[in-house]
Structure 1
Amino acid sequence: MKVLKVWGGAVVAAGMMVIIGGCAATPSSETSAANQAAQDNRAPFFPSSLFPGSAQRFDAWHCEPARQHLVTATNANDLRLWSLHGAWRLPQAVVASGARYQDGEISFWNRGEKALVETPRGQLQCTLAEHRDALTRSERPGVMFFGRGNEPGWSVALANETPTLTMELNYGEESVQQPYMVSVMDNEAGRVVLENADVTPFFRVRIEAGACFDSMSGKPFPARVTLTYNGEQYSGCGQGIAP
C-alpha cells in the first residue's frame, strides 16, 4: 500500500415533484463558523440530514408511478426520509394501523413492506426493496462521516475530532491523509464541500443529503459523495456516523 501524508498550514424541507425538489442558498455564516472550528483544530458539525439519528438501519423503497427510489431511517418518534432531491424529518402521527409520519402536506404511511407517500403533487405507492445496517463508531472508530464508491474502489473517512480526511484509492492501494477546510456548509440544504488549502495535489469532497444507492449492491445511503482528487473524479454514497 502506498501511504502519503501531507500536512499543511437539520433536516431539510423542500418541495416535492411527485416527489421532491428545490434547493437553498449557502449561508456564508455557516461556512465561517465551520472554518473557525477548523482553525481551532476541531472538526465542524455536519448537517443532521446526513445522519440516521438513533435508527439502526436504512431502508430502500422503490415507488410508482414516478419510479422514485427513497431511503428512510425510523427513529423512536420520527422518520427520516431521503429522495433524490433532498431530505425530510417527519414526526410520527396517530394512525389506526401501520406507522404514519407527517410534516405538513408530506406524509409517509408504512404498513409492513408497503408504504404510501402523499405529497401536494400526488401519491407514490412504494415497496421495500433493500436495507442496510447503519454504520456505527464501533465499526469506524473516530470517524464522523464515511463515503465510498466503486470501480475503482475508493473511500473517504472524516475524523470526528479534527478536520482531517483520509482517502483510500484504487481498492486500498493508495492511502492519503490531509487536513481540510470547509468551502461550503449549508445546513438547510444538507450540503457540505471540503477542500485542501495550499497543499498539492488538490482534492475536493462534495457531500449532499439525498437518497443514494451503492452502484454494485444497491444498498441505501442518505448522502451522495463526489470526490475530486489529482485530476480524477469519483462518485459514491456516504453516511454520517453519530457517537
Structure 2
Amino acid sequence: MKRLKAWGGAIAAAGITVVIGGCAATPSAETTTANQATLDNRAPFLPSALFPGSAQGFDAWHCSPARQNLITAVDGETLRLWSLHGAWHLPQAVVASGARYQDGEISFWNRGEQALVETPRGQLKCALAASRDASTRKDHPGVMFRGQGNEPGWSVALANDTPTLTMELNYGEERVQQPYMISVMDNEAGRVVIENADVEPFFRVRIEAGACFDGMSGKPFPARVTLTYGGEQYSGCGQGIAP
C-alpha cells in the first residue's frame, strides 16, 4: 500500500496495526537536515503525516468489533487515514455508491455516516462519531504545528519560520518562549522530538502521527503530543498547520 512518507506497517486481525521501529543509533539524514535547519535559524520541515494536506476537516470513526478508533481527512482524491498506531494514504477508487478509497488490500468505504474498512484479516464496521475543522494559519498566524491538552489547559506552538516554541500552561497564566533543537526526526514513523537541551527552563515535546481524541470534547486530531516541563508530563493532541 502507499503510505504517507513511506510509513511502515502491518495488518492485524480485524483491524489496523502499524509496527513502528525505534530510532537508529546514528542520526538519520532527516535528523541531520532538521538539525542543520535549526542551526541556521530556520524552522525544520515536519513529517507530512502530521498534516491534513488540502483537507478542510477531520472525521472520527468508532469501529467494531475490534473497538478501533480511526480518523480520516479527504485530501483531494485521496483519503488520509489515521489509526491509534499510524497512518495511511489511500487513493480514491471508482464505486457505484458512496466514496471508496483503496490501496492494495486495504480499503475504506464511506456511505454517509457509516463506513466499512476491509483488510486481509477481516472487516471493521464504523460509525461517524465526531468532526472537526482543520486548524489554519488564519486561526493561528505564524504557527506550523500546534498541540494542546486539558486539566490544566496547556498548548505548544512551533513557529513556521524559526525554530521557536511558545508554551502556555495553566490556562494561559504561564507563557514560555524558547528556541529548540531536533533530537529525533523520523519521517517514516511520523515522529518528532524537540527540546532545548541544557537551556533553562528545560522542556521536551514528543509528537507522533496517530489518531488522537481531545480528552474533553472528543474532537479528532492526527497527532499525539507529550510535553515534559518543570518535572511534569502533559499529554494531548495536535495538528500540523499548512500555509
Q: Does 1:108 align with 2:103?
A: no
Deviations 1:127-146 (A, max 9, x none): 00100000000110000000
State the match for 2:17 in structure 1: 20
Measured on the aligned residues, the alpha-carbon RMSD in Å equals 1.0
Give the match's secondary structure for 1:215: coil
Deviation, structure 1 residue 13: 4.4
Contact 2:8 2:18 in 1 (8 A): no
State the match for 2:68 in structure 1: 68
Letter matched to residue 69 of structure 1: N
Q: Does 1:198 align with 2:192?
A: no
Contact 2:8 2:20 in 1 (8 A): no
Contact 1:13 1:88 in 2 (8 A): no
**Overall identity of the aligned pairs, in %:** 78
Give the match's secondary structure for 2:10: coil
State the match for 1:175 in structure 2: 175
Runs of 4+ in 1 over 2 A off after TM superposition: 10-13, 24-27
Deviations 1:87-133 (A, max 9, x none): 11111111111111111111100011100001122110000010000
State the match for 1:146 in structure 2: 146
Consecutive unaligned residues of structure 1, counting only runs of 5 or more, are 1-9
Deviations 1:217-237 (A, max 9, x none): 000000000000010000000
Deviations 1:190-209 (A, max 9, x none): 00000102201211000000
Q: What is the distance in 1 between the residues matched to 2:81 and 2:202?
A: 34
Deviation, structure 1 residue 25: 4.1
Any residues of structure 2 matched to 1:35-184 within 5 Å, and which?
A: 35-184=35-184
Deviation, structure 1 residue 26: 3.3
Letter matched to residue 62 of structure 1: H
Contact 1:107 1:117 in 2 (8 A): yes
Give the match's secondary structure for 2:161: coil
Contact 1:13 1:87 in 2 (8 A): no
Give the match's secondary structure for 1:19: strand
Segment drifting more, 100-109 vs 220-229:
100-109
Compute the TM-score of the two structures, normalised by the length of structure 2.
0.94
Q: Give the length in aligned residue pairs.
A: 234
Q: What is the distance in 2 between the residues matched to 1:66 and 1:159?
A: 38
